[in-house]
Amino acid sequence: METEKKIKCIIWDLDNTLWNGTLIEDKTVQPFQHIVNCIRTLDERGILHSIASRNNYDDAMECLKRFNLDEYFLYPQIYWGDKSKAVGEIIKKINISADTVAFVDDQPFELDEVKMVHPEVLCIPASDALKMLEDNRFIPQYITEDSKMRRHMYMADILRDESAAQFMGTREEFLCTLNMEITISFAQDNDLERLVELTERTSQLNTTGYTYSYKQLSELCSSLDYRLLVVELRDKYGTSGKIGLALIKFEPQGWIIELLIMSCRVLSRGIGTILIDFILTKARIKNVNVYAKFKRTPRNKMMYMSYAMAGFVLLEQNGDTMILSHSMSKIRSLPSYVTVIDKTGALISRHE
């Protein structure tokens, strides 16, 4: 089911966009209050913010701190280079699709330059910025506890990345320092809004590219033939919230992983692999086979690789849709650097 693309991140110019005047000419610039209010409102909706500005970095950041606005902007790109380069860097660092990004600037030349290099980015004149508040692309279907905390979670990700860059050791040794705790449980009614959001927002780590409505997920939760698992993650830097899901269908021949999704924010921590191995381990206890549905999309090759590395092989294919199977002869142990809190019991079919 296709849904309208929602904007995940807004990249702002500074001079004559966020504040009045040009900072290099006038150090007494003041922020436009209507823009400040707009940023704060969109932040509460779970939309991220960043900056692409031609300015001196230290001067601009000092200004933003004086206005109590610096904490709102992730990976600010402030230097005397092309705005398109800055926008591309932000997209890469946040790890989102360009068609979920908006760029706001007061100069038509800058908007055109970004549009030329990044045609999927939504370019908005600064004079139209307030229209974003009423634009459906900037209004999430649900505003969950996770979405309200999204900026803070990304800020914690930045601290992790900085710590990883400074760490002198292997990736696994670094992961051991995080004290990761994963909770896997059956989805409840109060999880469904966030799970809808995950299906709509996640394209890279999504095994089918499918999206689901609240009603569909609710029906799956109450079905005798399905189990919907939700994955939560926390570590020493704080909670990452509900970052993944798996939909398992029970068939006579075994379990079918109909859908597996992981937030791109946890890509480097290997949580998707852990969830696959968790399901395989549960199935081995029940002595049942495991299959997985995979539908190729332009962005989800990594999920196919995750299945292949876990031991899944192609069983049948119809166009871009594949059914993978696992021999169950060799299943990786869950890594020692993570504590898995299992709230699924024996993960049995309700028919049992």
Measure the CA–CA gap between 156 and 315, rounded to whole angstroms.
41
Confidence of residue 142 (pLDDT cuts 50, 70, 90): confident
Percent of the chain's residues with pLDDT above 70: 97
Measure the CA–CA gap between 220 and 258, rounded to whole angstroms.
11
Are 261 and 291 part of one and the same domain? Answer: yes
Would you state the pLDDT for residue 259? 96
Q: Is residue 1 part of a domain?
A: no
Measure the CA–CA gap between 350 and 334, rounded to whole angstroms.
26
Are 39 and 150 part of one and the same domain? Answer: no
Q: Is residue 322 part of a domain?
A: yes
> For 217-238, what is the mean pLDDT?
95
Confidence of residue 346 (pLDDT cuts 50, 70, 90): low
User: Which is nearest to 84 in space by CA: 64, 101, 69, 72?
Assistant: 101
Rg of the chain (C-alpha set): 22
Q: Is residue 326 part of a domain?
A: yes
Residues 6+ apart with CB under 8 A from 27: 59, 63
pLDDT digits (tens, 9 = 90+) for 26-47: 999 999 999 999 999 999 999 9
Mean pLDDT, all residues of the chain: 93
Q: Is residue 4 part of a domain?
A: no
Are 161 and 34 part of one and the same domain? Answer: no
pLDDT digits (tens, 9 = 90+) for 95-129: 889 999 999 999 999 999 999 999 999 999 999 99
Q: Where is average pLDDT lowest: 56-60, 205-209, 232-236, 342-346?
A: 342-346
Are 115 and 175 part of one and the same domain? Answer: no
pLDDT at 265 over 90: no
pLDDT digits (tens, 9 = 90+) for 267-312: 888 899 999 999 999 999 999 999 999 999 988 999 999 999 999 9
The parent domain of residue 309 ranges over 145-343
> For 188-208, what is the mean pLDDT?
90
Are 246 and 313 part of one and the same domain? Answer: yes
Q: Is residue 226 part of a domain?
A: yes
Domain count, the chain: 2
Measure the CA–CA gap between 224 and 221, rounded to whole angstroms.
8
Are 130 and 156 part of one and the same domain? Answer: no
pLDDT at 205 over 70: yes
Report the CATH number at residue 100.
3.40.50.1000
pLDDT at 1 over 60: no
User: Which is nearest to 102 in space by CA: 170, 179, 166, 38?
Assistant: 38
Q: Where is average pLDDT lowest: 64-78, 141-155, 223-237?
A: 141-155
Q: Is residue 2 part of a domain?
A: no
Buried b (16+ CB within 10 A) or exposed e, 193-232: bbbbbbbbbbbbbbbbbbbbeeeebbebbeeeebbbbbbb
Q: Is residue 349 part of a domain?
A: no
Write down the pTM of the prediction. Answer: 0.84
Q: Is residue 277 part of a domain?
A: yes
Q: Please give the DSSP secondary-structure letter assigned to residue 20.
A: S
Are 207 and 261 a contacting pair, CB within 8 Å?
yes
Would you state the pLDDT for residue 9? 98
Where among 97, 123, 138 does a domain terminate?
Answer: 138
Are 151 and 199 part of one and the same domain? Answer: yes
Are 174 and 263 part of one and the same domain? Answer: yes
Are 194 and 67 part of one and the same domain? Answer: no
Are 201 and 295 part of one and the same domain? Answer: yes
Report the CATH number at residue 239.
3.40.630.30
Where among 123, 138, 153 does a domain terminate?
Answer: 138
Where among 78, 105, 138 does a domain terminate?
Answer: 138
Are 78 and 208 part of one and the same domain? Answer: no
Would you state the pLDDT for residue 243? 94
Are 72 and 156 part of one and the same domain? Answer: no
Are 182 and 231 a contacting pair, CB within 8 Å?
yes
Would you state the pLDDT for residue 2? 43
pLDDT at 349 over 80: no
